[in-house]
Amino acid sequence: MEVSTTTREDGIAEIVVDAPPVNALPVRGWFDLADAVLAAGHDPDVGAVVLRAEGRGFNAGVDIKELQETGHAALVGANRGCFAAFAAVYDCAVPVVAAVHGFCLGGGVGLAGNADLVVASEDAHFGLPEVDRGALGAAAHLSRLVPQQLMRAMVYTCRNVTAAELHHHGSVLEVVPASRLRAAALAVAGEIAAKDRRVIRRAKESLNGIDPVDVKRAYRFEQGLTYELTLTGAGDEHRDAFVRKGGRP
């Protein structure tokens, strides 16, 4: 099971991604994650969502091996699936707390960047290796985590930043030992879920309504340029090289 949901008595929906070895989701997994997040928000008994993962890291993005084995249909599916999952986190009717450990790369940044709050473990690091994969995407979401110039440096160089750095910028609420990550995420989610659900839902709606950037539109623009890179051959060239090297973050 790649995506599972547990609704707790305290009003928290805990959504867990578990897709070994590195939580790089296939096309179907992205759509399943989108469905799970939206369903949690539609549940009147839920006041907050915790999104976390099992295994070595939070998320390593799309399953590049699936893309290269299946062809362009899988690329279209992955792009639509990522769009759906990122949008679901943003549009979820209740606040979403991302609990990030280990690597948070590519699609992981899309999820964390659209979350309302991020709690991270001390070993967490964030990055967009897209340029090295012949693709673009999730810079719109990274812009919600780091200042503009740092975002550009991360896109161009594919460098990572640590949870501690993001805590310095204010985009990670708390950095804790890995053993305390789940508890810390549940604690802040519990604080939110204990509020009047009617008010919290309108608060989420209001904050999205005053957002200065349409993150969904911005991401679709990025995706369009990824299609262009694929049509010119750059995308497949870099993804094939990644698969040959073993395909690990």
Amino acid, single-letter form, for residue 38: L
> Measuring CA to CA, which residue among 161, 181, 61 is closest to residue 118?
181
DSSP assignment letter at 42: H
Between residues 240 and 135, the one the model is more confident about: 135
Query: Can you give the pLDDT at residue 240?
Result: 81
Query: Can you give the pLDDT at residue 178?
Result: 98
Alpha carbon distance 245, 215 (integer Å) = 33
Query: In the beta sheet, which residues pair with residue 66?
Result: none
Query: Can you give the pLDDT at residue 248?
Result: 66
Percent of the chain with pLDDT over 90: 85
Q: Are 51 and 99 in contact (CB under 8 A)?
A: yes
Query: Can you give the pLDDT at residue 70?
Result: 74
Query: Can you give the pLDDT at residue 54?
Result: 97
Distance of CA 210 to the CA centre of its chain: 21
Q: What is the phi/psi pair of residue 70, to 5°?
A: -105, -25
The pairing of strands 96-100 and 103-105 is unpaired
> Measuring CA to CA, which residue among 32, 42, 191 is closest to residue 116?
191
Helix, strand or coil, per DSSP, at residue 176: strand
Give kind and range of the element (H or E) at residue 161.
Answer: strand 161-162
Please provide the DSSP assignment of 49-113 as one string: EEEEE-SS-SB--B-HHHHHHH-HHHHHHHHHHHHHHHHHHHH-SS-EEEEE-SEEETHHHHHHH
Q: What is the pLDDT of residues 163-213, one digit of tens each?
A: 999 999 999 999 999 999 999 999 999 999 999 999 999 999 999 999 999
Instruction: Examine the pLDDT at 249 and tell me if it is beyond 90.
Output: no
DSSP assignment letter at 160: -
Per the confidence metrics, is the pTM higher than 0.85?
Answer: yes
Confidence band, pLDDT 50/70/90 cuts, at residue 63: confident
Instruction: Examine the pLDDT at 220 and tell me if it is beyond 70.
Output: yes
Instruction: Examine the pLDDT at 71 and tell me if it is beyond 90.
Output: no
Query: Can you give the pLDDT at residue 247?
Result: 63
Residue linked to tokens 């769009």: 83
Alpha carbon distance 164, 121 (integer Å) = 9
Q: What is the pLDDT of residues 11-32, one digit of tens each?
A: 999 999 999 999 999 999 999 9
Which domains can be identified in the chain, with CATH numbers?
3-178+214-244 (3.90.226.10)
Query: Can you give the pLDDT at residue 75?
Result: 84
| Greatest alpha-carbon span in the chain | 53
- For the chain, give the mean pLDDT: 95
Alpha carbon distance 91, 85 (integer Å) = 10
